[in-house]
Structure 1
Amino acid sequence: MSAAAWVLGGHQSRRLAADRRQLVLGATLLLAPWLLLSLFAGMGPPPADPAGWVATAVEQQLRYTLLILCGVLLVAGFVLLGAWLRRAGENTYTLLGLTALLLATPLFIVNMAYWGTFLLDSFRLVVATGSAQRPDWYKPMRDLMNLLGAVAVALQYATAIAFTAALHRVGWCRPTASRWLMGLSGTALVLSVLPAAVPVPLAIASYVVSIPAVPFLIPYWLSLLLLRRAGATASPAILAPLETCSPAPNPPEILPLKWMPVFFLVLLGYSGRAQVTGSNYALTGVTIIDARHPVPVAHQTILIRHQTITAIFLDGSQPLPDSARVVRLQGKYVVPGLIDAHVHLATDPSGVDNRAHVLAVLRRLLYSGVTSVRDMAGDARILAGLARDAATGEIVSPAIYYSALLAGPAFFQDPRTALASKGAVAGTLPYMRAVTSSTDLVLAVAEAKGTGATGLKLYADVAAPLVAHIVREATRQNLPVWAHAWLQHAKPAEVVAAGVGVVSHAPLLLYEKLDTIPPSWKTQRHGAAFWDSATPDLSALFALMKERHTILDATLLTYQEWGQEDSTMRYAYEVGKRLTTQAYKAGVLLAAGTDDDQKQFVPKEVELLVKGAGLSAFDALTAATLNGAKALHLETTRGTVAVGKMADLVVLDKNPLQDISNLEAVYAVIKAGKFFQKE
């Protein structure tokens, strides 16, 4: 507004002839509503519930009175501009614009009066009666006012189009500016009249352009253009009416016209993002599939407020909150956010796992439907920062939960440990420590927990008694313990018996019965019948796992890829998927972890659980959702679509129970209440 005042002063409007003063006055009136709109914006968003409206009654009445005054100023400005244009010889577009304006204004005033008075009175009635149910007349009246508001907005954009065309015809709006202003107004007009059942991006854009203050943007830009040119040399078409005016030097541009569309699109994009990540919205028309619903539940509405699912009910069976944005998803399927139970994001942060690469991977992970990951050892200095940035929304990423690694001293000859410990000695850091029977485990566990780790990972070279001691101390300090299924000096049954919550890598379960892998498994090619007979029966181990509620993180995907790259490792996938089948049939809980350095994502692991290990699509989906949450001790807040749980959801175009590959038909992802449209 200060800039606009500077433009007026620069044009020395008080010394202009009467005819041009009328033009300047009209332009100033088009600009003036933004003085009031700045007050409107300073009040913040309207309250989210009736009690809030009643408590701030005077503020709400003032809010909508300001909007009515804005409308009156706009009418006055366009009427003066219309009179000036008609004297300049332009009648057609001027009359069209004035007609649209005179039709829009009563509708706009009635709609704003409804919000400021009638709606407030109805909320007073709701609060006074103590009933959450709206009166019978409430919804028809609200729908009528929404219709009137939509018509008024469309007519306001039509007014801007007509007056821009009129100014162009008399030479006061250059072709480029005219095209941009008319194009933006036309686009906004079309968006404002879109039906409700349109894709989410269009619904968001339609919502934004229908906000009462947004149609005032085009007249604002038009007024700046007119004020800028008011003191400049007039075009030949209007020299006659302005003969007595003394042109002033062309002032510098406050807002260059070439940047107006950019500004508009940025505003639209920012507002759209705010709606997508809004704190209060409803998903309607969805079919819910999760561990609690083996039979899909159709025609459901899911209410989300902030980060939480606040209600789930049959479409139309309950009124929606007035403040809730409606996202219509008829024909879509909603499943819980997927959890990858085995990733490695920071093995080599100075090399392949550099920040740019990892951020790109995290973004792709989220858009594939993964809303949480369990990182199974890496540089916790990096992982802590990534987890923090993911939690605050500063990066597009699943939630990140990471482990601190404990292993025997021999393991730290592995070059990967040096990469993840750069700047220090591998095996001496709180998040990557060598342990023996003489280690102060109270201190070691406390320091590991202090790194922000969600759990401990036992990797290799740890004896069974030490495993049990670590589990006891970690349990005392409320830190979960995860481990490789075989630790060289501890067999799988010993690891399970010690109380480890999750064991990783199905092929390592072989070491319950074998001391070494038969050489022929590595050097010869064998068919399915051979592997069926060669795979040992581990029913006793799996009975123990079921009894202890131990989760198996099978990681079939990484072994399939490994076998494709190295023929000597083909046995691992063949045996691993058969052992996973045994575990599944024995009632062992399975989680879905990839462990393939994020080459492919968890939907592929889920597909292998179905097509390789024989899980049903429902149980494989449960592995990637509820069981993943159990692995992280987050089952009370994640893993199912339920009231009170975190709004981590995946919206699918197709039913994953009909074909598990439909898990890749992602339409949108909701992470902690934020809506991400599939790219």
Structure 2
Amino acid sequence: MRAVGFKLAALAAALWLGGSSPSLAQPQGPVALVGATIVDGNGGAPIPDGVVLLRGDRIEAVGPRASVRLPRNARVVDVRGKWITPGLIDAHVHFFQSGGLYTRPDGMDLTSAVPYAEDLARSKSRLDETFARYLASGVTTVVDAGGPKWNFEVRSRAAASPRAPRVAVAGPLIATEPTVPQKKLDLGDPPIISAADPGEAAALARALLPAKPDLIKIWGIGSGPEGARRLRDMTAAVVAVAKPAGIRVAVHATDLEQARAAVEGGAEVLVHSVDDAPVDDAFVAALKARGVVYVTTVMVGQGYSGAFTGRPALTVTERRLGAPDIIATLSEIPPAIAAQVKDRMPDATPQILANAKRVHAAGVRVAAGTDAGNVGTLHGPAIHRELELLVAAGLTPSQALTAATRDAAYAYAPKPDIGLVAAGYRADLLVLNADPTRNVSALARFAQVWSRGVSHGAASLIPESPEALVQRQLEAYNAHDLEAFAATYAEDIEIFDLPGAAAGRTGKAALRETYGPLFQRLPQLRCEAAHRVVEGPFVIDQEVCRPTPQARPRRATAIYQVENGRIRRVWFAAAP
């Protein structure tokens, strides 16, 4: 059944997205965004009542309203009460991986349930949807840190699409040791190729040059002094090939001694945090002196742990913006396997966070990256959990934003023209409804995303899932916004009370008559979904409600049925 479901999902996506890349839309004339508070991504003081003047794919001018002269033919967009930031950058993703449970058979072989070929075929067939989910998450640029050679086609497709982020790619990863599990990923276009020695690593890198990769990536597999020596020598050999061609070398090395060896070999990007030990002064000094970009990827371990133990803990943002069919797979681990791996997955998050804080405090360029595509790390919304974790590490919201804009841009290119709201930079922007310098959660809710000078609303990029609709309804309920709450319901909404299931309220007029007075009478009333199950168009919530923060909670179960993008029926069951 799962295989059939994947095929149907792929077919539906093909019908919705179309079979080929759309032509790239071009912005028309100068556009002035007027009245917002500008947060430039460079760590400077916000500019109140600002103006950002766009011309084509570039920012022409930025400053206070009084200092920016508008062309007569400029289209003025009133964004008073909003905040403007650079578009977000995810400095580490993998397009050949879906983010679902079955995407890494080299780590957990579940191919008897879903063949790897099906998961890979889905990733290829749904590229346009994946691109749109990045933009809908506010991510205007991504760095694909290694995959099959068809990644170069991904870059070309993204460049031709008006609904895609900018994409930088590395070709196949060059592994420093041959391993058997990685062969499970080889379906004729391997994402990982092994080098026996530095000479072979250099030859593999040389073979990639005609495709003009943005990065060449090395995967440091070995351990101990010998593994570190091999990684150092192979990195140096690849750097000798890549540097004259203007291509940087990135290295996967999560152990401190491996990471140290990679830096000594000339790596310019470390695509993961060090997770096995505290970083020391000598290592941090080397990162800073050599200008190495240190990519965080904090959340990827949490994604694996949640899916492999049968307890995926997705955020509201991930459920709202992630692909529903991929999210569904994250709860499908067989219980017997979950029981076996439960105690074999130590949580490296505290060490990763401590090291991220340490290198950031020392002035190292720290870039936010998620490793999206790996099991449990969803394309698009994963960046928002990464930012929340960086704040948990001790970065301020402004510093976390800079990690996902200005500093992540250096993983994309050595001399980037993205990642800042500044004259001459690319017109990739977010127009936000709340202040991101106070809380990074503001970055997950925006009014507009501007990509290459073209504006998009999140709702125009991806269809709203039943779960996202029900969550939007719950948020409007808690905000006591009657009209926003009613807007999530069908005109002929029916509400039933179980067990008798007689329709007690029918139509939007009855809905307003019930909930309008309720919101006025109980201004502190709040509900949350303690548990949620999604089955196609049905969303089943166990809701916990409190009329005041100190009041005893009341529990009820609500079953929402979604039709044509609105809640059509609700069944309530509550204890007496």
Under TM normalisation by the shorter chain, which class is it?
A: 0.5 to 0.7
Q: Answer yes or no: is 1:575 the counterpart of 2:368.
A: no
**Unpaired segments of 5 or more residues in structure 2?**
1-22, 98-102, 104-115, 222-229, 310-341, 460-576
Kindly provide the amino acid, as one letter, of the partner of residue 555 in structure 1: T
What residue is the counterpart of 1:357 in the other structure? 126
1:73 is aligned to none
Report the CA distance between 1:563 and its aligned residue: 3.7
Q: State whether structure 2 residue 411 is matched by structure 1 residue 631.
A: yes
Residue in structure 1 matching 2:391, options 610, 635, 643: 610
Per the TM alignment, residue 570 of structure 1 is displaced from its structure 2 partner at its CA by 3.4
User: Aligned-pair distance for 1:433?
Assistant: 3.3
| Mapping of residues 432-443 of structure 1, within 5 Å | 432-437=192-197, 439=199, 443=203
> Retained in 1: the 8 A contact 2:171–2:217?
yes
Which deviations, in whole Å up to 9, do the C-alpha atoms of 1:165-215 show, x marking residues without a partner?
Answer: xxxxxxxxxxxxxxxxxxxxxxxxxxxxxxxxxxxxxxxxxxxxxxxxxxx
Q: Say which of 265, 276, 290 aligns to 1:548.
A: 290
Per-residue CA deviations over 1:88-127 (Å, capped at 9, x if unaligned) read xxxxxxxxxxxxxxxxxxxxxxxxxxxxxxxxxxxxxxxx
Once the two structures are superposed, residues 349-404 of structure 1 have per-residue CA deviations (whole angstroms, 9 ceiling, x without a partner) of: 943242343332221111111001111112221x222221221226x221111112
Which residue number in structure 2 is paired with residue 296 of structure 1? 46
Aligned mate of 1:422, from 187, 199, 208: 187
Q: Which of 123, 138, 149 lines up with 1:380 in the alignment? A: 149
**What's the CA shift string for 1:498-547, capped at 9, x where partnerless?**
22111132244x2xxxxxxxxxxxxxxxxxxxxxxxx5452321122122
Identify the residue that residue 645 of structure 1 maps to in structure 2. Answer: 425
Q: Which amino acid aligns with 1:545?
A: L
Indicate the residue corresponding to 2:71 in structure 1: 321
CA contact (8 A) 2:87 2:419 kept: yes
In structure 2, C-alpha distance between the alignment counterparts of 1:588 and 1:409, rounded to whole Å: 26
For residue 497 of structure 1, report the CA deviation from its aligned partner: 1.6
CA deviation vs aligned residue, 1:197-236 (integer Å, no higher than 9, x gap): xxxxxxxxxxxxxxxxxxxxxxxxxxxxxxxxxxxxxxxx
Instruction: Using the TM superposition, give the Cα deviation of residue 658 of structure 1 relative to its aligned residue in structure 2, in angstroms.
Output: 0.8
For residues 128 and 145 of structure 2, the distance between their equivalents in structure 1, rounded to whole angstroms, comes to: 18
Offset, 1:473: 2.2
Equivalent position of 2:139 in the other structure: 370
Q: CA deviation at 1:486?
A: 4.3
| Residues 660 and 408 (structure 1), Cα distance of their counterparts in 2 relative to 1, 3 Å cut | closer
After superposition, residues 39-58 of structure 1 pair within 5 angstroms as none
Matched residues in 2 for 1:401 and 1:414: separation? 27
Residues 93 and 143 in structure 2, CA contact (< 8 A), matched pair in contact too: yes
Q: Displacement of 1:635 after TM fit?
A: 4.3
Residue 621 of structure 1 aligns with which residue? Answer: 401
1:426-467 deviation line (CA, Å, top 9, x unaligned) = 4xxxx7432233635665333212224210111134432222
Larger radius of gyration: 1
Mapping 1:188-199, distance limit 5 Å? none
What residue number does 2:449 align with?
669
AA of the residue aligned to 1:389: R
Greater share of helix residues, 1 or 2? 1
Separation of aligned partners in 1, 2:28 and 2:44: 31
The one-letter amino acid paired with 2:431 is V
For 1:587, the equivalent position in structure 2 comes to: 363
Distance 1:318 1:402, change over 3 A: closer
Residue 601 of structure 1 is matched in structure 2 by 382
The match for 1:506 among 273, 276, 282 is 273
Kept after mapping to 2: 8 A contact 1:405/1:459:
no
Do the aligned residues in 2 keep the contact of 1:506 with 1:552 (CA within 8 Å)?
yes
Match 1:471 to one of 239, 247, 263: 239
Deviation of 1:652 after TM superposition, in Å, equals: 0.7
Displacement of 1:580: 1.7
Checking the alignment, whether the CA contact within 8 Å between 2:92 and 2:297 is kept in structure 1 is yes
Deviation at 1:677, TM superposition (A): 1.8
- CA, structure 1 residues 641+501, in 2 after alignment: closer, same or farther (shift >3 Å)? same
SS at match of 1:294: coil
1:458 matched residue in structure 2: 218
Q: 1:660 aligns with which of 440, 461, 472?
A: 440
Query: Which residue of 1 is the match for residue 30 of structure 2?
Result: 280
Deviation at 1:311, TM superposition (A): 1.6
1:409–1:468 Cα change, 3 Å: closer
- Listed one character per residue, the Cα deviations across residues 139-159 of structure 1 (whole Å, up to 9, x for unaligned) are xxxxxxxxxxxxxxxxxxxxx
Give, in whole Å, the separation in 1 of the partners of 2:142 and 2:57: 18
Matched, 1:557 2:307: no
Letter in 2 for 1:590: V
Q: TM-score, normalised by structure 2?
A: 0.60
* C-alpha separation in 2, matches of 1:292 and 1:448: 34
- Residue 491 of structure 1 corresponds to which residue in structure 2? 258
**Mapped contact 1:411–1:460 kept (Cα < 8 A):** no
CA distance in 1, matches of 2:25, 2:455: 9
| Residue-by-residue CA offset, 1:599-651 (whole Å, 9 max, x unaligned) | 2421221111002x111111111110111111122543111111111101111
Where does 1:146-545 land on structure 2 (aligned, <5 Å)? 277-347=27-97, 350-353=117-120, 354=122, 355-381=124-150, 383-393=151-161, 396-408=163-175, 410-415=177-182, 418-419=184-185, 421-423=186-188, 426=190, 432-437=192-197, 439=199, 443-461=203-221, 462-486=230-254, 491-508=258-275, 510=276, 536=278, 538-545=280-287
Amino acid at match of 1:547: A
Change in 2 beyond 3 A, CA 1:636/1:409: closer
Change in Cα spacing, 1:318 to 1:399, as seen in structure 2 (3 Å) is closer
Per-residue Cα deviation, 1:14-41 (whole angstroms, up to 9, x for no partner): xxxxxxxxxxxxxxxxxxxxxxxxxxxx
Q: In 1, Cα distance between the equivalents of 2:37 and 2:255?
A: 44
Kept in 1, the 8 Å contact 2:131–2:158? The answer is: no
Give the residue type in structure 2 aligned to 1:351.
E
What is the CA–CA distance in structure 1 between the aligned matches of 2:445 and 2:33, rounded to whole Å? 18
Q: Distance in 1 between matches of 2:198 and 2:361?
A: 41
2:421 partner SS? coil
Distance, in Å, in 2 between the alignment partners of 1:294 and 1:384 is 36
Residue deviations 1:298-350 (CA, integer Å, cap 9, x gap)? 11111111111112232254442232211111111111111101111114694
Partners of 2:35 and 2:51 within 8 A in 1:
yes
Q: Deviations over 1:528-571 (max 9, x none)?
A: xxxxxxx5452321122122221211211112233444443233
| Contact residue 340 and residue 372 of structure 1 kept, 8 A | yes
Q: Which amino acid aligns with 1:361?
A: T
Q: Which has the higher strand share?
A: 2
8 Å contact 1:539–1:582 — kept in the other structure? no
1:418 and 1:672 map into 2 onto residues whose CA distance is 38
